[in-house]
Structures are given as C-alpha cells and as structure tokens.
Structure 1
Amino acid sequence: MATMLLVTHGTDGDVLPFVRLGRQLRAGGHEVTLLTHAHYGGHAARAGLDFVAVDTQLEFERTLADTPELLHGLGWPEFYERNGLYEQMVLEFRAIAERHRPGETVLVGRHTSALSVLFAAEALGAPAAWVAVAPIQLMAARAALHAYRHLLADGLGRVRRELGLGQVADWNAWFASARLELGLWPRWFDRAGARSPARVRLTGFPLPDDDQDDALPPELAGLPDGPRPVLVTGGTGRMLHREFYTAAVEGGGLAGRPVLLVVRHRDLVPDPLPPGVSWYPSLPFRAVMPRVAAIVHHGGIGTLSRALRAGTPQVILAHGVDRPDNAERLERHGLASWLPAPRWTPREVSALLAKEAGRGRVVPPPGEDAAHEAPAEAAGLIAALLEPPVADSPADGIRRRLDHLSAEQRRLVADRLRGRLAERGA
C-alpha cells in the first residue's frame, strides 16, 4: 500500500477530477490524502479520502471573488499577495512532508499551479506527477514559467528560503521535473488544436460527477413536460465575462424555451429573473443534461465533457483562460457552436440555440477514449511511479509519437512507408 498525496486548486473542473482520481487510487488499495480548498471537504469524505484544507471557506470565497479581476487588469503578484497564496504553498509543503513515507509516496499536483508538489519532490526525493485538466495548461506552461521566474520571483524566493530550499539553478529543468505528466482529455480532442507534447500521457475525460447523487428537485422530476428547457451555467467559479449570464438567459428566452439557470453565486445573475427562468445553485448534470434541448455554458472542461457524454447540443459563450480553446476544439469536430464575447447578443445566442437544439443527439468522433476508464488508466500510471523505471522499447516510442498525429498526418506517413516498401520490392 502506497501513500498518495494529491494537491489541486480552483473550482469543480479543477478539483473534482482529483476527487475521482483519489477514489480510484483508494480502490487500488492506496492511502490517499487530498489537499485542496475547504469547500471540497465533503466531496473528499464521500470518496473516502483523507483531507487537508489549504484555506478556510471564507478565504476560498474571497479568492473566488478576486479572480474576475485577473481578466480585467489585476496582476498576478498582487493576486498572490492579497490572497495569501505564498503562505498556502508553505502549508501544503509541510502537510506533504508530515505524511511522506520514504520510498512509498507519490505526489500528484494540478499542472502548473501545484508548485508545492515540485518543492516537496525536490526536498523529499519523492516521485511527482503533474495532472493537467485542460490543454491550455500545457500550452500556457512557458508563460507560467516566465511568471514564476520573474513576476513572482520574490514571493517564491521567500517560500523556498522558509522551506530550507536553495535558489533554482535551472528553471526550465525544475519546472519539468515531474516524473509523469498526464492530460485528462482524449486524443481526438487533443488533435483538434495545439497538440500536447509527446511526453504527456492522455487518458480521456474523467467525468467526475459519475460519483455524485442524481436526485432531481421534485419540480424537475417530470422533464420533459412541454418545450424542452435550455440549461444555462457558467460553472462554479466567478471568473466570467460580466455579460455572460445576461446574454445566455436573454438568448434562451428569445429562443422561446424555459431556462434552467444553474449558478452557485446568486449575485451573478439578473435580478429579477425574466419569466420562464428557474434558478438553482446546483443540479445533478448527469441526470439533467439528457433531458434538456441544449446547454449554454462557459466552455469549462467538466461541463463540456459531461454534455458530450449525454449527447446534449452545446452553445458555448467562451471568454478567458482555457474556454475559447476548448470551444474551438469542439467546433472543429462539429460538436458545438461558440461565440466570442463581442458577439454575445440575445439574437445570436438564440440563433445558435435554434441550430443546436434542432440537431438531436451529438455524438463524439468514433474511437473516443472511454471516459469511464480514464480514472483507472490515470491511477495506474501514477501508481507505477513507485515501480522501477522501464525504458520504452523503440516500438513504444514510435506508437506514442503516432498517437499525437492527425488523421491526415498519419495518412502521409502511411503513404511514405508504402512508397519505401514498394521501392525495396522493386
């Protein structure tokens, strides 16, 4: 039995995949501790995980309230200082060190943000894995490294001195020091945009809500009843364009459909709500999505993957962070429609809703990685970090590189191979 220490930050799309991964690791016989925001203690308990809160509920809400300003000019140094994120790193490191068992511990962190995992791996000599929940985390790694090395250098230097760590001699090597990098999305999704580096193992969407209760409020138990409603959600965070909910709700109303508005923070939505709009702080999406005509959402990876699994048509109002990239990847496969913020008008949203709601069930490309197997594959790769390393065979290396090629690129490779074989045969 190994000790698995998982560190993540953010909202549902960043944290619940780690809960699901922790549950899978625990099913494999490992001791698992999740270190994340106090808000997720209940999720960890239901999954049977030990839990360390890296903040309080009040601090979590304060940080969420601050995040929209990152889209409107607040600098990262100010954000870190105002929200005590350097102190949080120290707390995480010490909690990891207390639970570390030499030779029997694996550290797992959210890609790019879980610096405490790299600090602890460096200090303790433990193997580390970084887990990305969306492609943008890999695409933005160079920019993040620049921020850590320059914009946040003073604060990170204070943290390292407090932890007894010296200066980083080679930032590029240190930032890439995790033994394993995982991407929690399928290969077809990866090929629809900038490709992940070959070193990153892709395991498919984790669908973290598979472990949650599907009970619906009584008034929704009979869906559909009359025109099928539109589901509108901007996720569980507050980092949204200020016009998101207004455009989504008015567009749904103009389309002539009831709107189920799901948002934890009531102050983000129009007040009073227009007729035909029902507000819920949360709903079990696994049960709701197959029953609605379409969903209008922000482009978060958890929401879009759940909609894909349900076959629910999607209209995405994407702005900031990973969302435009996620939306473009789906649109390239003909699986969703999306609008950038300058085009968020009720008329355009309504027109896309009419288009999407009329198309019926949306089916991902053939051969999609099975979502229900993704946590098991990821957990197996993480557990294998405690085993002696085995070098890839030449065939393994070739297969991994081929996995990251598009269908057209594979066709060109196959044509060249056939040409060479024909030349030898001649």
Structure 2
Amino acid sequence: MTTASPTAPTALLVTHGTDGDVLPFVRLGRELRAGGHPVTLLTHAHYRAHAERAGLDFVAIDTQAEFERTLGDTPELLDGLGWPEFYERNGLFEQMVLEFRAMAERHRPGETVLVGRHTSALSVLFAAEALGAPAAWVAVAPIQIMAAKAAMHAYRHLLADGVARVRRELGLGAGWDARSASPRLELGLWPGWFDRAGARSPARVRLTGFPLPDDEDEALPPEAAALLDGPVRPVLVTGGTGRMLHREFYDAAIEGARKSGRPVLLVVRHRDLVPDPLPPGVSWHPRLPFRAVMPRVAAIVHHGGIGTLSRALRAGTPQVILAHGVDRPDNAERLGRHKLASCLPAPRWTPGEVAALLAAALDRGPVVPPPETTPAGEPAGLAAAASHIAALRDGPAAESPADGIRRRLDHLSAEQRRIVADRLRGRLARQGP
C-alpha cells in the first residue's frame, strides 16, 4: 500500500454521472495516490466500492436511492424537462453545498488541489474562490469543453436563482469574477487525433489520452465466460450505465444484432430498459468487465459513450454506434471521420439498417486506431493528468518553451504539420551544416 508523502498535496476530486464520468476519476485518484498524494473522491454513493478498492477516501454526495431517482429523471432532459426543474427536483443545489462543505473540511492551506468534472463541478470553483486553493476541471469527452460557455450561461441565467441561493448559504458574494468562474487548469482525457477529428479544444486544454487501461479485477460470470468461449463469437450490445437513451435504442440494437445470426451478449444495468421476455439468442447481464469481454466479442453495438468507445478501440473491436443525446453524436462522428466505427442517426434506427452496418463491420474485421503518441520522456494518459494536477499546489504549472511548442503541434492537422516541417527543412537548408 502506498504511503502518503507529508509534502504531497491533498487531492479532492468531485465528479457526477455514470461509469464514463466517474470511473476515470477513480483511476485518476489511484494514479495520484500512487504518487504519494492523499486523495478523497466525492461522488455518488453507488461508486463507494470502486473508490475503496482503489484505496481512496470517499464522500457520498447522495444516497443510492437519490442516485437512482436522478438517473430516472435524466431521460426527461431529452424530452424537454428544463434544467431548473431537474436541479430542484433532485436536490442538486443542496448537493453543491454538501460538496463545498466537504472540501472545506478537508482543505489544508497551501497543500490542497481541487479537481472537478468539467462543467458540472461548480462546487469546485466556489471552493477554490473561498479557500484560495488551485482548481482543475477534467473533461472526459470533447463536448464538455465545447459546451462550457453554454453551461456557464445556464448557471448564470437559467439556474441563477438556485446558484445565488447556494452562494449566499456559503457566504460568497452574489457576483462572480473571472477568477471564480475559471479553473486554473483544464485537462481533456482523450488523444490529439480524436480531438482533431472534430471541433478542436482550445490550446489551454491539455490532452492526456484516453484514461485506459482500466485494471479493476472483476471476474467473468461462468455463463458469460461460456458464451465468450463458445464456437461463435457473440455481438455485444450495451447502452452504458445511464438512462439517458433514446426510447428505441435497445429495440433496434438487439434486433439488429440478432439478425447477424450470432449470439447476443446484452449488458445493461437497468433490466426494465430491455424486452421482457428476452428474445431467443440473447443473454443479459447487468454488468461485465469490458476489459475481459471486449477482445472476445465479434463486434459491439452501443450508444457512443466515451468509456465504451475507448475500451472497444483498445481491443480493436468493430463498432456500430447508435448515438443520441449529450456527447454521443460528437463522439461517434469523430470515430466515423477516422473510419473506426459505423454510425447510424436515430431516424434510421431499424433492425435492418443496424444489421446491414453490423454485417459490414464484421466483414472489415478488427480496427486499428491512430497511435496515442507523446513526445519522448513525457508521461502518457492518467500519469500525465496526475502530474499536471500535482503541479498546481505551488501555483500555475510552469510551461517550458518546448512544452508549449509540443502542445501547439498536437493541435495541428496532418497538412499543417507537413507545412511546418517543410518550412523548418527549408530554414535548416539555408543555414547550412
């Protein structure tokens, strides 16, 4: 077990959502703890066991019942429920207060960094304002960066009454200044090639790669292992661990997968979202370790969540994505531009169209994503994210000229890099040996 260094800054991590939003923070916390940092994770009660297995201190921001109720409300956001009503119905303003107070209790002046999920962890910015502690926002998908201005507009206007109530209760002024509205560090947990495939992140955002590999040691249930070891590799179907799904998702995905003639391995935590009884040839599990499952399935039909997407990429598994809502269409489009997945918009979700895309994906076979290259000597993935966060203790992380050049190059397209390389070769030729 790692022993915390007396000089290592304490890291307080706050995140919200389901597996794709929370498990990267668990892994980030484990990485920080391996570096000698005391780490506390503040998130939903549902993830207590994950945090404890990673050796993290844990603060539940809700109860299991409250978490399930909030999940049950999220589909209504796609059907027109307003954000103010969603926040009030689910006690999210009170949750901000709880998070703030938990951070304040654990704050060590000069020895604490605050880390929040990008756009949702407003409590982290308020705590940074009140405590003078440095704050980082960590985005798990590009849409969180893209939507940041809209989110801040919503906090300042659509949710203004509730946010003002929170700030009054915390003893903060009603107005926000630039310092209180901005984190000192912004990280994106995806690689440069994925970023360049769509709207690019601003240069201030440091990209560290997908937060893989995940290494939680979960055993495969015997019936799932038997199916995966059978004579015909199954098709995996999953809509992730949340409920914010198009109502037709599982009907189209399951029937389309069944038309492949292969067994269907269905993974969904909420049994009520899928047909009852299950169609022939479909095996259901509420949860499976995708690290073990993904390399052993023939293909996957899924919703476009970034955790599922990146795990499938790592395994080279062919993907058919039925994306709808939040970050998923953007994630799917980025993969589609690299020809790493087949994507189908919701108006075309029929078993026949899903089956046709799945057949083509199976014919193409394993996919090979661009390498997640990093400059020599620079840490990769979560190690890089942890390094950036740890450096916040003594003020903004200093960036060397070489680091700045590498970061800017990472945001250039292949054509722009070629132009830069040609110019440099020309300059070197003119200078002579």
Corresponding residue for residue 382 of structure 2: 375
Q: Is 2:210–2:381's contact at 8 Å kept on the other side of the alignment? A: yes
Q: 1:25 aligns with which of 21, 25, 32?
A: 32
Of 65, 78, 91, which aligns to 2:85?
78
Task: Supply the distance in 2 between the matched residues of 1:103 and 1:390 (Cα, whole angstroms).
Answer: 15
The answer to whether the 8 Å contact 2:209/2:372 transfers is: no
- Output aligned runs, 1:136-155, within 5 Å: 136-155=143-162
Distance of 1:391 and 1:155 partners within structure 2:
37
Deviations 1:200-225 (A, max 9, x none): 11111113632232x21212324232
Q: Alignment partner for residue 217 of structure 1, among 221, 243, 251?
A: 221
Structure 1 residue aligned with 2:102: 95
1:334 maps onto 2:339 in alignment: yes
Contact 1:207 1:302 in 2 (8 A): no
User: Which residue is 1:293 aligned to?
Assistant: 298
- Opposite residue 29 of structure 2, the aligned amino acid is G
Which structure 2 residues correspond to residues 15-414 of structure 1 after superposition, within 5 A?
A: 15-170=22-177, 174-176=180-182, 178-207=183-212, 209-213=214-218, 215-222=219-226, 223-368=228-373, 373-389=380-396, 391-414=398-421
* One-letter amino acid of the structure 2 residue matched with residue 44 of structure 1: A
Q: Distance in 2 between matches of 1:109 and 1:208?
A: 21
> Structure 1 residues 166, 388: CA separation in 2 closer, same or farther (over 3 Å shift)?
closer
Shift of residue 227, structure 1, vs aligned partner:
2.1
Q: Measured at CA, do residues 271 and 368 of structure 1 come closer, stay the same or move farther in structure 2, by a change above 3 Å?
A: farther
Asked whether the equivalents of residues 224 and 292 of structure 1 are also in contact (C-alpha less than 8 Å), the reply is: no
Structure 2: which 5+ runs fail to align? 1-7
Shift of 1:409: 1.5
Q: Give distance in 2, aligned partners of 1:308 and 1:200.
A: 23
CA distance in 2, matches of 1:252, 1:228: 12
Tell me, yes or no, if the aligned pair for 1:24 and 1:379 is still in contact at 8 Å.
Answer: yes
How many angstroms does 1:388 deviate by?
Answer: 5.0
One-letter code aligned to 2:196: R
Instruction: Please tell me the residue identity of whatever aligns with 1:152.
Output: L
SS at match of 1:35: strand
> Counterpart of 1:241 in 2: which secondary structure?
coil
Quote the offset at 1:394 in angstroms. 3.7
Partner amino acid for 2:143? Answer: I
| Partner AA of 1:308 in structure 2 | L
Report the alpha carbon displacement of residue 2 of structure 1 after superposing the two structures with TM.
2.1
SS in structure 2 at match of 1:142: helix
Q: Deviations over 1:374-394 (max 9, x none)?
A: 111111111111135464344
Report if the CA contact (8 A) 1:187-1:369 is conserved.
no
Contact 2:190 2:210 in 1 (8 A): yes
Question: Counterpart amino acid of 2:101?
Answer: R
Output the amino acid matched with 1:105. Answer: T
| Cα distance change, pair 382–230 in 1 and its aligned pair in 2 (3 A) | same
Structure 1's 369 and 389: CA in aligned 2 closer, same or farther, altered over 3 A? Answer: closer
Distance 1:145 1:355 in 2: 42
The residue type paired with residue 314 of structure 1 is: Q
Is the 8 Å Cα contact of residues 388 and 397 (structure 2) preserved in structure 1?
no
CA contact (8 A) 2:12 2:112 kept: yes
Q: Distance in 1 between matches of 2:149 and 2:9?
A: 32
Given that residues 263 and 281 in structure 2 are in contact (C-alpha distance below 8 angstroms), is that contact kept between their aligned partners in structure 1?
Answer: yes
Q: Indicate how the Cα distance of structure 1 residues 367 and 67 shifts in structure 2: closer, same or farther if over 3 A, else same.
A: closer
1:175 CA displacement: 2.6
2:229 alignment partner AA: P
SS at match of 1:65: helix
The whole-number CA distance in structure 1 between the counterparts of 2:194 and 2:19 is 20
Q: Show the counterpart of 2:5.
A: none
The gaps in structure 1 that reach 5 residues or longer are none
Please give the alpha-carbon distance, in whole angstroms, between the structure 1 residues aligned to 2:217 and 2:187. 24
Q: Could you tell me which amino acid in structure 2 is paired with residue 300 of structure 1?
A: G
Aligned equivalents of 2:276 and 2:106: distance in 1? 48
Does the Cα contact within 8 Å between 1:188 and 1:368 map onto a contact in 2? no
After TM superposition, the score normalised by the length of structure 1 is 0.95
Q: Which amino acid aligns with 1:59?
A: E
1:65-92 residue CA offsets vs partner (Å, 9 max, x unmatched):
0000100100001000000000000000
SS for the counterpart of 2:313 is helix
